[in-house]
Structure formats: C-alpha cells, structure tokens
C-alpha cells in the first residue's frame, strides 16, 4: 500500500502537536519524547492504520518559520489546517490557506477544542467561510442541547459513536432533523458539482448516495474547490477516529512533478543534525522504493554509499531494509544529501524543482565573541542553513560584516540560540552597517599634483593633471586618457588609473567608496630616471583626493524597493509610517482582501521595519525588498553619518 503523508498547519497553541500525538496514541504508537515546547521546526511521525503507512508532519505555528511550512507542503498529499475554536481567527490561518493554494496542496480543516468551556466552534466555521476564498463544508456536526455533546456524520445522516478507532452509526434524535437536513443538502449540492453525472442525478432526485458524496468530496478536494471541515478535540480524542476514517475515504491523489526516465527516486525535504545520530536526511519516496546498503546518486551530481535506512515510527526512527513508494525514508550520516536534493540509485540528469523560500525581512551582523567562536562559526553556519534553507548567511563585500537574514526577529533569535546551545558558538549582534557612497556634484578642471621624493640614490617623481566630472547616478566610474606629446610615457597610464581606483575606495567625507565620477588624465610630467609605476600611482591617488575636496563632495544613501502586503484596513497607518521614514509610495494595488503597497525607502530607515509592520498590522503584514538605487542624503542625515564616521575613526 502506498504511503501517505499529511501535514498539520495552524497557529501556535491551536493544538497541532497534541492532535498528532493523540492520533498516534489511538493507533497504539508509543511516544518516547512527547512535545512540551512550541514547534519551531518540522517533525515527522510515522504509524500504520490498517495496512496504510501514514506519516504526519508537524509544522511551526509562527509566521517567522513559514519556510518550514513550504517544505512540508512540497512532499504532502494533504494538509490539515488546525483551528482553535476558543479564540478569534488569526491572520496566519489565511497565510496557510494562501500558501497551500500556491503550492497546489489540498487542504482539510480540523476545528479543535469543541468541548472546551469557551468554545465558539460553530462561529469559527462561519468565520472560516468568510475569511477563506474556498468552500468550507462541514462533514460532521455537533449537538449538545441539555445533554453531552454528540456528533452527527452528515454523509450518512447518523450519529457517530467512537470506541478506539472503531465507529458505530445510529439514528439521531428527531428534534435535530431540520438543522441536519440543511447541512446535508449543502454537502450534497457541493459534491454533485464534482461530476456531470452527479449533477444530473442531483437535479432528477435531489440526492446522492454516500459513496457518490465521498467521491465528489475527493474530486473537489483534489481540484482545490473545497475544504472539508471536521470538528473535535485533540485533548480528549473526540472526533479523531471519524477524522481518520474519512480522510482515508477521500484521500487525494496529488500530482507531484515526475522524472520519467528514472524507476525510483526520493526528494529530501528536511535535514536535521542530531547530537547523537549525526546528520539525518528525511526524504519522501515519490516513485519505486529505496533499499538499504546501496550507492545513492543526487541531482547535484554527487554519490555516496550508505548502509542503513530508517522510517519514522511514532516519534522515533526504526531501521528497515526497504522503504516503499509514498513513504518517508531517513538516511543517517549521508553527507552528500541536502534539503531539496532528488536522489536515486540511478544517474539523475535533473532533479525535482526546489520550492522558493520567502524573502528575508530582518538582518543582523554577527560578531563571534572569541577566536574559538570565529573558528567554529563557518561549520556551524553550513549546518544551520541545511536545517533551515530560509536562512541567508553572507559576508558583505564592502563592510566585510558577516550577516544573517531571516523572516523576523524571532527567526533569528531562535537560530542564534541554536548556534549557541547546539553548536557551541557565541556571537554578539548589531544592526548591519549601511553601505553609503560618496560622489561629487560639480566638475573641477586642471587639478595638478606632483609627487617628488629624494632620499639618496634613485628618487620618485611623477606629476599628473586631471579634469574630474560628476557622472549620472549609477554610472560608476569612467577613466579617460587624452595625453598629447611625450610628457608622460603611455606605459604609466595603467598605474595612474590604479591610483585613482585606490583613492576611490575611501572618500574624504566619511570614508565610503566614491562612485559616479569621470577622471580625464590629460597631461603630466615625468623624469627619465626617477619616474616609476609606483610614483605615478601615488601621484594619481593624491590628485584625485585633491579634486574631491574642490568638487562639492556629497554622501549618497542606498534606497530599497518594498512590496508590502497588508490588510486593507491598515493601509493608511502603513503609508503614514512609510512617510515618517522618508519613504515614497509608488502605487497601491488591490489583491483580494489585502493591498500591495509599492514604495522606495532609505535602507537605513527599514533595518527593523518588520517589527514595526507586525505592530501596525497585528502580524498580518509582510514585505519583499530589493536594492533600488542611491540618492543624495539630506544634509542633516549626512552630518550625522559623517560625525559618526569621524568618531569611529578616532576611536579605532
């Protein structure tokens, strides 16, 4: 029987982990380490229901870890959105639905905590139907007028009694006939829309058989036209046996990308470094099977021999000889594997597509505390990125700072905790240094500099004459040689250009690189004995610095372009905040129930923008950013930056 993978999504505290653990308990799986803390990373559990290998993936409930959700979606047949019926719906529910739709993942809904004192589960179902742009159709409903809550299966129109994983169906009390009939008709109508023959039968008879209803649900689910809604309690187990049975009744056949020329392959969706077992690579077998003691080949052109393979069983790993199609296989200490790899025993000419990770929204500079931390940080970073591909580490070309970028402050905070606790690397953090630039505003003519040094023996002599011009923003640097006559031998021209380029590395205002200038080397003087490449390079260096002083130098600051996605009701507050950051709103675009704001903002003003945006939108906003251009900084900003640079220089 093909293995099945179900991922559970929901906000923090919605009960995802409790729900999975209760399912495993129902199926007689023993848990070694029941989870007591919030989920920050994917966790895969395994069991068997009847003869079906079932794998449950638990996912984080915080926006900061949305990259983990995308990896889970890449290998799941079905997603289950777990919703807390004791609290109002949170925006993260909408983001999950949005991501599932984008990744073509069928989604069912489990409304949790329906037996809690403060539950509003019926209202929660209504709110879901208002929030999400897809039909939310209950398959089961609860009644508790003057008696304990009992469940009614709307497919059979019978009450459900659950004993272990067994279900018994009985007639329901007649006083609920009207409500049940209304819900049943809604379910039949939606199921009928799945097939032409169902529509014809429904129009003729007004009804469908239970088998036809189930088939209609399955088709609609696969086509992302509906989300079947279940109700229950992860804490007490109410509604869970019914959920398991029905899920397998209409389990969707999801179409994954395929590799036609390969008989068996798997896709790595999670890497985890265990303190005892070492590197663990979790992969789903999408075609054929994977056997132990083989040589594995990856879509990256790497290969490695391995011995044992494992499957998740409960919350542990179990060694096996072979893992079948649809199941999750785990490799231990296979160094060539990384998240996103396709693997096979056969040679692969291509791999399956790798999901696009969300754009990082928060960046910090890392400063290892000791020399030992500095030595260890590179190896630790490699492992952190393998475990969480939504993290970005890089060393900035100009500032030479080691930067970490993530989806928010909590994302980076948790990563730095892991860096310290798991890999023994301590770091201090700071906001990144802004890569300002310097340029000039007016041309200067006939700038002359003579370099002359006599210390006994051969001396140094070179004289250069420059015209220096400002260039259009973004043009960079232009060097033009227009020498006439033989005052300067042409073989010194490269040394002159090199001297200018070295002088451009640090401007005279605050030591930032100089850009958007044109230097015309039109004349000079040389000495047949004392002139050299070095002498001309030194002369050019100082001539350019002299020109800068006369050319009205100014500071340039980098701007970024933002695409900010926010709920409609927060647009005014977000725009007001952007204006306070010297931002310019370029346009507004309506997208469903939210608005996309396109804006340009100075980079220095948005280093911690994600925190502010979360505050304004209640965690419902996010943004994509990219470098845009450089602009002249206003005088009050320039003065502040120049003063800071001088202070740092004197302290250094």
**Domain ranges, ordered by start, for the chain:** 4-249, 265-344, 362-430, 438-551, 555-637
Radius of gyration of the chain (CA): 33
User: SS3 for 509-522, per residue?
Assistant: CCCCCECCEEEEEE
Q: How many CB atoms lie within 10 A of CB 203?
A: 9
Q: Rounded to an integer, what distance in angstroms lies between the CA atom of residue 638 and that of residue 232?
A: 61
Residue 313 predicted with pLDDT over 80: yes
Q: How far apart are CA 406 and CA 38, in angstroms?
A: 19
More confident residue, 277 or 445: 445
Cα(73)–Cα(222) distance, integer angstroms:
14
Kindly give the interhelix angle for 210-222 and 177-192, rounded to the nearest 10 degrees: 60
Contact 43, 94 (CB under 8 A): no
Between β-strands 4-9 and 43-49, what pairing exists: parallel, antiparallel or unpaired?
unpaired
Does residue 652 have a pLDDT over 70? no
Q: Which pLDDT score, from 0 to 100, does residue 39 have? A: 82
Say what the pLDDT of residue 231 is: 95
Return the number of other C-beta atoms located less than 10 Å from residue 475's C-beta: 12
pLDDT at 34: 80
Chain-centre distance of CA 335, in angstroms?
24
Mean pLDDT confidence for 567-574: 93
Produce one character per residue of 531-546: b if its CB has 16 or more CB atoms within 10 Å, e if not: bbeebbbbbbbebbbb
pLDDT the model gives residue 67: 94
Q: Which CATH class is domain 265-344?
A: mainly beta
Type and span of the H or E element at 577: helix 571-580
Q: What average pLDDT score do residues 403-431 get?
A: 94
Q: Work out the pLDDT band at 457, boundaries 50, 70, 90.
A: low
**pLDDT, average across residues 411-423:** 94
Q: Cβ(625)–Cβ(560) under 8 Å?
A: yes
Dihedral of alpha carbons 348, 353, 355, 359, sign? positive
| Cβ(17)–Cβ(35) below 8 Å | yes
Helix count and strand count (H, E) for the chain: 15, 34
Round to whole Å and give the CA distance between 349 and 503: 49
Per-residue pLDDT for 38 more than 90? Answer: no
pLDDT value for 194: 94
Question: Tens digits of per-residue pLDDT, 67-124?
Answer: 999 999 999 999 999 999 999 988 889 889 989 999 999 999 999 999 888 999 999 9
Summarised one tens digit per residue, pLDDT across range 252-308 is 988 898 898 899 999 999 999 998 889 999 999 999 999 999 999 999 999 999 999
pLDDT tens across 317-356, in order? 999 999 999 999 999 999 999 999 999 999 998 999 999 9
634 has pLDDT over 60: yes
Beta carbons of 72 and 57 less than 8 angstroms apart: yes
Helix axes 91-102, 121-131, angle to 10 degrees: 50
Q: How does pLDDT run across 183-201, given as a tens digit for each residue?
A: 999 999 999 999 999 999 9
Q: What is the pLDDT of residue 91?
A: 82
Answer whether 4-249 and 555-637 agree in fold: no
Q: How far is CA 588 from the centre of its chain?
A: 24
Indicate the pLDDT class of residue 207, thresholds 50, 70 and 90. Answer: very high
Question: Tokens at residue 318, please?
Answer: 């179990």
Report the SS3 class of residue 445: strand
Which of 510, 516, 526 has the alpha carbon at shortest distance from 468? 516
Among residues of the chain, what percentage have pLDDT more than 90? 81
CA 184, CA 182: separation in Å to the nearest integer?
Answer: 5
* C-alpha to C-alpha distance for 55 and 324, rounded to whole angstroms: 13
- Quickly name the fold that domain 362-430 has: Alpha-Beta Plaits (3.30.70)
CATH fold for the domain made of 4-249: Rossmann fold (3.40.50)
| Architecture of the CATH domain 555-637 | 2-Layer Sandwich (3.30)
Which residue in this structure is represented by tokens 């939108």?
Answer: 617
Taking 90 as the threshold, does the pLDDT of residue 559 lie above it?
A: yes
Give the CATH architecture of domain 438-551.
2-Layer Sandwich (3.30)
- Tokens, residue 163: 């004993």
What rounded mean pLDDT belongs to the chain? 93
Instruction: Tell me the two tokens of residue 57.
Output: 């993936």
Reported in sequence order, the residue ranges of 482-538 that DSSP labels E, i.e. its strands, are: 517-525
Q: How many whole angstroms separate alpha carbon 109 and alpha carbon 247?
A: 11
Task: Name the DSSP class of 583.
Answer: -
E strand or H helix at 245, and its extent? Answer: helix 240-249
Instruction: Return the pLDDT at 359.
Output: 86
Task: Write down the pTM of the prediction.
Answer: 0.85
The closest alpha carbon to 44, from 311, 288, 274, 244, belongs to: 311
Q: In 3-state terms, what secondary structure has residue 587?
A: strand
Token pair 């399956």 is found at: 352
CA proximity to 14, closest of 101, 104, 110? 110
Max distance between CA atoms of the chain, in angstroms, equals 116
Q: Please name every residue paired with 151 in a beta bridge, in sequence order, or none if there are none.
A: 142, 160
Which among 344, 403, 422, 341 is positioned nearest to 71, based on CA atoms? Answer: 341
CB atoms within 10 A of CB 397: 7
Mean pLDDT throughout 2-11? 96
Q: pLDDT tens digits for 350-379?
A: 999 999 998 898 999 999 999 999 999 999
Contact 571, 529 (CB under 8 A): no
* Spatial separation of the C-alpha atoms in residues 53 and 1, rounded to whole Å: 7
What is the CB-side half-sphere exposure of residue 628 using CA atoms within 13 A? 20
CA distances 578 to 434, 472, 584, 616, Å, are: 19, 27, 7, 12
Residue 90 DSSP class: P
DSSP class per residue in 176-202? GHHHHHHHHHHHHHHHHTT-HHHHHHH
Among residues 68, 77, 137, 69, which one has the least CA distance to residue 105? 77
- On the question of pLDDT at 592 being above 80, the answer is no
Q: Can you tell me which residue has the tokens 């740092």?
A: 648
Cβ neighbours of residue 74 closer than 8 Å, sequence gap 6 or more? 103, 267, 269, 355
Tokens representing 512? Answer: 């930032």
- The label of the residue with tokens 């006559």 reads 485
Report the 10 Å Cβ neighbour count for 197: 10
User: How confident is the model over 467-512, as pLDDT tens digits?
Assistant: 999 999 999 999 999 999 889 999 999 999 999 999 999 999 999 9
């Amino acid at each position: 029987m093909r293995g099945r993978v179900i991922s559970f999504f929901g906000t923090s505290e919605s009960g995802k982990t409790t729900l999975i653990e209760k399912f495993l308990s129902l199926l007689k799986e023993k848990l070694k380490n029941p989870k007591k803390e919030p989920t920050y990373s994917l966790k895969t559990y395994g069991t068997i229901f009847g003869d079906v290998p079932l794998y449950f993936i638990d996912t984080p409930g915080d926006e900061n870890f949305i990259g983990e959700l995308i990896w889970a979606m890449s290998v799941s047949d079905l997603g289950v959105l777990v919703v807390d019926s004791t609290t109002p719906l949170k925006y993260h529910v909408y983001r999950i639905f949005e991501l599932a739709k984008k990744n073509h993942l069928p989604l069912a809904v489990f409304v949790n905590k329906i037996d809690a004192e403060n539950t509003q589960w019926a209202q929660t179902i209504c709110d879901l139907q208002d929030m999400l742009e897809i039909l939310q159709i209950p398959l089961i409903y609860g009644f508790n007028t003057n008696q304990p809550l009992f469940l009614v299966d709307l497919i059979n129109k019978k009450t459900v009694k659950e004993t272990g994983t067994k279900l018994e169906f009985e007639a329901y009390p007649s006083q609920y006939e009207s409500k049940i009939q209304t819900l049943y008709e809604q379910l039949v109508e939606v199921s009928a829309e799945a097939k032409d023959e169902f529509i014809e039968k429904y129009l003729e008879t007004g009804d469908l058989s239970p088998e036809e209803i189930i088939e209609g649900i399955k088709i609609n689910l696969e086509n992302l036209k509906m989300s079947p809604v279940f109700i229950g309690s992860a804490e007490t187990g109410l509604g869970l046996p019914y959920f398991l049975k029905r899920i397998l009744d209409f389990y969707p056949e999801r179409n994954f990308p395929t590799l036609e020329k390969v008989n068996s392959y798997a896709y790595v969706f999670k890497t985890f470094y265990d303190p005892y077992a070492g590197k663990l690579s979790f992969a789903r077998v999408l075609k054929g099977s994977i056997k132990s003691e083989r040589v594995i080949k990856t879509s990256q052109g790497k290969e490695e021999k391995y011995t044992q393979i494992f499957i998740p069983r409960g919350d542990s790993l179990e060694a096996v000889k072979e893992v079948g199609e649809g199941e999750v296989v785990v490799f231990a200490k296979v160094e060539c594997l990384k998240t996103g790899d396709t693997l096979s025993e056969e040679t692969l000419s291509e791999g399956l597509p790798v999901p696009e990770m969300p754009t990082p929204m928060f960046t910090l500079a890392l400063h290892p505390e000791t020399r030992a931390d500095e030595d260890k940080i590179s190896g630790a970073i490699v492992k952190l990125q393998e475990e969480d591909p939504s993290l970005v580490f890089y060393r900035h070309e100009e500032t030479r700072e080691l930067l970490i970028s993530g989806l928010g402050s909590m994302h980076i905070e948790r990563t730095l905790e892991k860096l310290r606790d798991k890999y023994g690397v301590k770091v201090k953090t700071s906001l990144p240094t802004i890569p300002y630039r310097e340029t000039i505003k007016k041309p200067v003519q006939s700038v002359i500099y003579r370099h002359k040094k006599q210390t006994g023996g051969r001396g140094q002599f070179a004289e250069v004459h420059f015209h220096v011009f400002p260039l259009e923003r973004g043009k960079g640097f232009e060097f033009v040689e227009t020498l006439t006559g033989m005052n300067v031998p042409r073989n010194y021209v490269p040394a002159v250009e090199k001297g200018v380029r070295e002088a451009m590395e640090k401007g005279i205002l605050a030591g930032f690189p100089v850009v958007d200038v044109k230097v015309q080397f039109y004349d000079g003087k040389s000495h047949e004995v004392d002139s050299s490449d070095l002498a001309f390079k030194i002369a050019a260096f100082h001539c350019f610095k002299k020109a800068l002083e006369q050319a009205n130098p100014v500071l340039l600051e980098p701007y970024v372009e933002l695409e900010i996605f926010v709920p409609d009701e927060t647009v005014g507050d977000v725009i007001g905040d952007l204006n306070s950051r010297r931002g310019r709103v370029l346009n507004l675009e309506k997208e469903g129930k939210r608005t996309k704001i396109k804006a340009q903002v100075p980079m220095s003003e948005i280093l911690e923008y994600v925190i502010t945006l979360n505050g304004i939108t209640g965690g419902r906003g996010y943004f994509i950013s990219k470098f845009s251009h450089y602009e002249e900084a206003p005088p009050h900003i320039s003065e502040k930056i120049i003063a800071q640079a001088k202070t740092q220089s004197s302290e250094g």
